[in-house]
Amino acid sequence: MSDIVRPYGDTSGDGMVQVSFTLPIPHDKRAEGAAAQLAAKMGIEPALVVHAKAIGPSYTFFVVYGPVHHLVDLREVAVVEREFAMLSAKEVDSAIKTRLGRPLVVVGACIGTDAHTVGIDAILNVKGFAGEKGLEAYAQLHVVNLGAQVLVPDLVDRALAERADAVLVSQVVTQRDAHLLNTREMAAAFREACPAGEVPLLVVGGPRFDEGAAGALGVDRVFGRGTSPAEVASYLVHALVNEGAAR
């Protein structure tokens, strides 16, 4: 396979892409022309407006289809590789039991005004996600799920009261970078409340996080779209229980 690729639409390498966006103008012929102009400025030329729909009297939603002339160099793609081994539930429980000698305490929440609990529930609840059971199903994980719209000071208080080994926070809403601001606030609050070396493992997750941003956000690990409970359980063992774990 070549290291250089182009998008595929109707025929190999034709460069076809489809994008959607909204313009703050009423739906009419001029609006469709405006959408085509924007697409051309984005490098999609000739652009075909394949869908245009009014969203109320003053906005129009568009789908535009057309070719780009850009190439992707696969050798320059940067990804965060999983740095830990995937374990079965049995291996997770056994590692915690033999090396820690007590259940590992996990406190989870969706912080700020964010009410999207489906993601954190997918990781924590027994019923889990995509056929995998959540962390509550592990015999050696004690899970406290605080639910939605938890204030950072309340999360810190509860995590300290539970003597949490790990704090798992979900952020789904990204409007005005709320997920980044809330995460930084949370990380700073734990660092202020806990003596050095006693901060619980801080983990955030949500569909629009950059998995490489842990350091910049002040947390230990970031999980993105499509994370599975087993990945999180395996990571907890890697970070907290295995020989050479950071704490």
Known catalytic residue: 53?
Answer: no
* Catalytic position from the list 29, 97, 127, 133: 127
* Backbone dihedral angles phi then psi of residue 71, each to the nearest 5 degrees: -115, 150
Q: Which residue in the shown chain puts its C-beta closest to ligand B12? A: 205
Residue 35 is a binding residue for ligand B12 (CB under 6 A): no
Cα–Cα nearest to 129, from 236, 232, 203, 211:
232
Alpha carbon distance 147, 170 (integer Å)? 10
The answer to whether residue 150 forms part of the interface with ligand B12 (CB under 6 A) is: no
Nearest CA to 147 out of 170, 179, 163, 126 is that of: 170
Q: Which amino acid is at 73?
A: D
Say whether residue 104 binds ligand B12 (CB under 6 A).
no
Q: Lay out the site mask for ligand B12 across 175-194 (x = CB under 6 A, - = otherwise).
A: x-------------------
Q: Which residues lie closer than 8 Å to 140 by C-beta, 6 or more apart?
A: 92, 93, 96, 97, 100, 103, 104
Per CB under 6 A, 13 contacts ligand B12: no
Longest dimension (CA), the chain: 70
* Interface pick for ligand B12 out of 55, 72, 115, 126 (rule CB under 6 A): 115
Q: Give yes or no for residue 156 binding ligand B12 (CB under 6 A).
A: no
- Site stretch for ligand B12 (CB under 6 A), options 28-36, 98-106, 137-145, 201-209: 201-209
219 binds ligand B12 (CB under 6 A): no
Question: Which backbone phi and psi does 74 adopt, to 5 degrees?
Answer: -60, -25
Among 17, 39, 104, 172, binds ligand B12 (CB under 6 A): 172
CA dihedral sign of residues 46, 47, 49, 54: negative
C-beta of 39 vs 204, nearer to ligand B12: 204
Active site residues: 127
Q: Report the interface residues with ligand B12, using CB under 6 A.
A: 113-120, 122-123, 129, 168-170, 172-175, 203-207, 223, 225-227, 232
